[in-house]
Amino acid sequence: MDKRIFWLALGSFAIGTEGFMIGGLLPILAAALHVSTAIAGQLVTAFSLVYAVSSPLLTTATGRMERRKLLFGSLLLLAVGNVACGFASSYGLMLAGRIVAALGAGLFSPGAVAVASTLASPEKRGRAVSTVIAGQTVSLILGVPFGTWVALTFDWRATFWIVGGVTLLAALAIRLLFPQVAPAGAVGMRERLSYLKRPELLASLLTTLAWATGIFALFTYVSELFSGYGAGGRTISVVLCLCGIACFIGVRTGGLAADRIGPNRAIPLALTLLTAALALLSALNGFAGHPGILAAAIAALALYGFSGYMFNPAQQHRLIGLSGPSSGIVLSLQASVIYVGSALGASAGGAVVRFADVGGIGYFAGAMTAFALVVFAASLRMERRMKQPAAVARRSPAKTS
């Protein structure tokens, strides 16, 4: 595989770290910016919402732009946004930096996947694309806990500057080492949105939305939740690392399960385990301070990471089967829906923290993933109804012959 693809993975790693690290920094940022943790959590909402809305719009608008120039410019935007966050002296400036970073991230991600598939030989395209996507998964294992450790050991500003530096390194490598890559053309917004008219696809994407709302509602406020269990800052960075490892195992398991038992069985299994883990995280909060409760909460969070990230590859597998040749467009919609769910989760989770208690956030998140299970069942019913006429049509010639 072309080694230059790892620079694309480094860009994805920076995006994942930028997007997820707020969960570990939330109490520190809230204190530094003189806002509540619920208000600080809306920095995740802003990043995710801007990413979700801008990514398809910018991808369409820049469809005829040379790819190397596009990737370089998008990573520069991401670097500028992170550096601005590092210098922010107020919540408003921090919010502006996050918005700039989200614009760069939303433009880079689909372009990086397209360039990776172009650079790789046909028999290695799958590996190339998965390597780029794996950058964001690895950020959960390394980037997020490392960012939390840096903030606790040095200063929270250094975390954003380091991410900005990593992003700039990836940008320069792409500019200097990559060939010019011609654009493949753009798919218009009308064509993208037309797939939402298919009931089985719409229900599947709503399943993703409910799942993403649930997992990000908890992850955004995971530091505050574990502070209630008595975990200190450095313990939380270790907890986040363990959660990231569980997420990585979950991603691998989700792909294997989709191949072995099929996505229609893997998805409900993942959602059921996830709902149980989320409910358990809130239930254990009532026993905070008792011996062994912190260890039990860490185990529940590991199950949350495993089952939460087991869902996504299985869901992507299912969407590819439902959409056929149009899978690229549908998967881009899936990516946008995930970030919409991240925005909704951070926003709704903030409301739970502000008006109720952080200990109840697992119940809210669990209710959302349970709802995802219900919507999935409806989607499965629609899929079966869709297949019935096709099956009848295939049998009809045999009867008449």
Domain 188-387: CATH superfamily is MFS general substrate transporter like domains (1.20.1250.20)
DSSP annotation of 140: I
**How many residues make up the chain in this entry?**
401
Ranges of beta strands (E only) in 93-244 are none
Any idea what the Cα angle at residue 126 is, between residues 105 and 72, rounded to 5°? 30
Task: Determine the pLDDT at residue 52.
Answer: 87
Q: How far apart are CA 389 and CA 385, in angstroms?
A: 8
Class of domain 1-186: mainly alpha
| Residue 44: burial class (beta carbons within 10 Å; 0-12, 13-18, 19+) | buried
Any idea what the Cα angle at residue 139 is, between residues 243 and 36, rounded to 5°? 70
pTM of the entire predicted model:
0.81
237 closest CA partner among 321, 175, 298, 180? 298
User: Structural domain boundaries of the chain?
Assistant: 1-186, 188-387
Which H or E element spans position 396? Answer: helix 361-400
Q: Half-sphere exposure of 144 toward its Cβ, with a 13 Å CA cutoff?
A: 31
Task: Determine the pLDDT at residue 90.
Answer: 94
Q: Cα-Cα-Cα-Cα dihedral of 181, 183, 184, 189, to 10°?
A: 150
131 closest CA partner among 9, 253, 252, 16? 9
Q: Half-sphere exposure of 179 toward its Cβ, with a 13 Å CA cutoff?
A: 8
Tell me, letter by letter, the H, E, C secondary structure of 63-79.
CCCCHHHHHHHHHHHHH
Written as six digits, the tokens of 155 are 């200063």
Query: CB-based contacts of 289: which residues, under 8 Å, 6+ apart?
Result: 230
Tens digit of pLDDT at every position of the chain (401 positions): 678 888 998 998 999 888 878 877 888 899 999 999 889 888 988 998 998 888 888 877 887 888 889 999 999 999 999 999 999 999 999 999 999 999 999 888 878 877 887 777 776 666 676 677 778 778 877 888 888 888 888 899 999 999 999 999 999 999 999 888 887 666 677 777 787 888 888 999 999 999 999 999 998 888 888 888 878 777 888 888 888 899 888 888 888 888 888 889 999 999 999 999 999 999 998 887 787 889 999 999 999 999 998 898 888 888 878 877 666 677 778 888 988 998 899 899 989 988 888 889 999 999 999 999 999 999 888 888 876 665 555 555 555 44
Same fold, 1-186 and 188-387: yes
| Residue 165: burial class (beta carbons within 10 Å; 0-12, 13-18, 19+) | middle
Task: Determine the pLDDT at residue 87.
Answer: 95
DSSP annotation of 34: T
